[in-house]
Chains A and B, each alone.
Chain A
Amino acid sequence: NAGVTQTPKFQVLKTGQSMTLQCAQDMNHEYMSWYRQDPGMGLRLIHYSVGAGITDQGEVPNGYNVSRSTTEDFPLRLLSAAPSQTSVYFCASREGTGESPLHFGNGTRLTVT
């Protein structure tokens, strides 16, 4: 089983460029989410989705957009990259019930210069 797949693994952007981080899961999970990981700050929730067609903001949503047109995919878009968005981004999914554990992808390391 592939689980949660993120692409690309690494990306370098210039300030102002846009890009999309891809996330796909093959476990038929209803819930999907994006976190960013910064040194000494743990993981912070950016956006999440409880099902196809439904998205909502997390703790740090500014500068990011998401959409959920299918159950499997949950892309994260940076509209105009800023150096403050240099981070490691993780996509995670779980079954619909709130208590089931999150399954994480291996992350995308993004550098904005």
Chain B
Amino acid sequence: GEDVEQSLFLSVREGDSSVINCTYTDSSSTYLYWYKQEPGAGLQLLTYIFSNMDMKQDQRLTVLLNKKDKHLSLRIADTQTGDSAIYFCAEIRDTGRRALTFGSGTRLQVQP
């Protein structure tokens, strides 16, 4: 999705924190989502944040939202090899379709 941008690749060492960034362009977005895709599988919802929040924490995951800059990030604490996957951010817009618009995905590689 050209309206949602992510960097393509991130490499971290096991035990470090990972930060995956996303920018979006539609200020009317109401919810923003993070999905994880493991090889050969569908997308699994990790977490989501409503646009009137600026932070949400769920165990090792922290989502930060800067609505002014239209910037979303996902921080994974104590990254494990099992976290290696592609991570997609997605926005849902206040339009008739109410469909998700996805970024291109960030491939996270965790090195032992």
* A binding-site residues for B, Cβ under 8 Å: 4, 31, 33, 35, 40-45, 48, 56, 58, 90, 92, 98-99, 101-107
Contacts and interface: CB of A to CB of B under 8 A. Distances in A.
Interface string B87-112: 01000100001111011110000000
* Among B4, B35, B100, B104: residue with most chain A CB under 10 A: B100
A40 B42 contact: no
Given A42-B102, A45-B99, A106-B40, 12 more contacts: A31-B98, A42-B103, A44-B102, A48-B97, A48-B99, A56-B97, A98-B92, A99-B30, A102-B45, A102-B100, A104-B43, A107-B40
Main DSSP-derived SS at the A contact region: strand
Contacts of A105: 42
B103 A45 contact: no
Contacts of A45: 97, 99-100
A38 B80 CA distance: 27
Interface residues of B, number: 25
B97 A58 contact: yes
A41 B45 CA distance: 19
28 contacts: A31-B98, A40-B8, A41-B104, A42-B1, A42-B88, A42-B102, A42-B103, A42-B104, A44-B1, A44-B102, A45-B99, A48-B97, A48-B99, A56-B97, A58-B99, A90-B43, A92-B43, A98-B30, A98-B92, A98-B98, A99-B31, A101-B45, A102-B45, A104-B43, A104-B44, A105-B42, A106-B40, A107-B40
B42 A90 contact: yes
A101 B88 contact: no
B45 A42 contact: no
